[in-house]
Amino acid sequence: MAVGVFDSGLGGLTVLDAVAKRLPDVPFVYLGDSANAPYGVRDADDVFKLTKASVERLWDAGCDLVIMACNTASAAALRRMQEQGLPEGKRVLGVFVPLIEALTERNWGDNSPPREVAVKNVALFATPATVASRAFQRELAFRAIGVDVEAQACGGLVDAIEEGDEILAQALVRSHVEALKRKMPNPQAAILGCTHYPLMQEHFQAALGEDVKVFSQADLVAESLAYYLERHPNMQGKGEHSLFLTTGDPAVVSDKATQVLRREIIFAAA
């Protein structure tokens, strides 16, 4: 009955926490590829190979459905994996689409032609790899027209969050917001396009100002997953227990994860 959740490190715990609260009876297997984090500075081929290996590990753990709770992996690997063909009965879902559907005020699965939306100026904060992929702009173009997206690559921010250096992380948020505002002085909405960034959401909001609506992914993905499982209950795999797996040092990752979620998290070696 398990569903897999994958991230390059600890950022996907923000998604895991939300989906576990929304679906308390579903066991989740979380895999963080901490040994190879961060993905955001890697090239697309490297991200694809690492993502494919991690997703296959979750399939082996009894997860027929895997949530790719990493924007860099969703941007660089998801479509390529789908185009190459997934094994029968296996599915991989990314985290971009629920966010874009919320931004464009579309219902889940609305495949009508792109249309005008209220928000015209959108700031996208993401990793360098996600920005380079232009995956967000591509998915947005399927659903909306007339939207100006200004992307800001937030170098160093994932590393600071993973290391627990909150002072540096806050300084980097302010610096990246200032750089974005030099290109787009008055964004109407801001997308936190990395699952690490909700951990700094209040600081993004403070730097952007109260008039900017900040979208992050965890709750949106949780609602989309709940709706998906209502329509596809067979996609819950054979696994029966919740697990936390890491390619890094389990003791170190467990300590960091416990700090992130403020409850004890015990990781095992993947």
Residues 206 and 223 in one domain: no
If one counts the domains in the chain, the total is: 2
Please tell me the predicted confidence (pLDDT) of residue 108. 63
Catalytic residue among 126, 194, 225, 265: 194
Single out the residue in 199, 215, 231 at which a domain terminates.
215
Q: How confident is the model over 207-239, as pLDDT tens digits? A: 999 999 999 889 899 999 998 999 998 887 787
Query: Catalytic pick from 70, 144, 158, 225?
Result: 70
Q: Are residues 211 and 110 in the same domain?
A: yes
Contact 81, 93 (CB under 8 A): no
Query: Given 215, 239, 255, which residue is the final one in a domain?
Result: 215
Amino acid at 254: S
Residues 35-50: tens digit of each pLDDT: 999 999 999 999 999 9
Indicate whether 108 and 197 sit together in one domain: yes
- Residue for token digits 């998604």? 15
Residues 149 and 244 in one domain: no
CATH number, residue 135: 3.40.50.1860
28 and 73 together in one domain: yes
101 and 234 assigned to the same domain: no
Indicate whether 21 pLDDT > 90.
yes
Q: For the chain, how far is it from start to end, CA to CA, in angstroms?
A: 19
Same domain for 102 and 77: no
Please indicate, yes or no, whether residues 102 and 211 belong to a single structural domain of this protein: yes
Q: Are residues 116 and 35 in the same domain?
A: no
Asked whether residue 229 falls in the same domain as residue 203, the answer is: no
Tens-digit pLDDT profile for residues 87-127: 999 999 998 888 888 888 887 667 789 999 999 999 999 99
Tens-digit pLDDT profile for residues 233-268: 888 778 788 999 999 999 999 999 998 888 899 999
Within this chain, do residues 109 and 161 fall inside the same structural domain, yes or no? yes
Q: Which pair of structure tokens corresponds to residue 123?
A: 């700031």
Beta-ladder partners of 190: 123, 214
> Residue 226's domain spans which residues?
3-94+218-269
> Contact at 8 Å (CB) between 71 and 126?
yes
Q: Examine residue 27 and say whether the peptide bond preceding it is cis (omega within 30 degrees of 0).
A: no
Q: Please tell me the distance from the alpha carbon of residue 57 to that of residue 75, in angstroms, as a whole number.
A: 20
For residue 34, the model assigns a pLDDT of: 95
Clarify whether 63 is annotated catalytic.
no
Structure confidence by residue, pLDDT tens digits, 136-186: 999 899 899 999 999 999 999 999 998 889 999 999 999 999 999 999 999
Q: Do both 167 and 151 map to the same domain?
A: yes
Q: How far is CA 217 from CA 12, 173, 225, 264, 266, in A?
A: 10, 18, 12, 23, 24
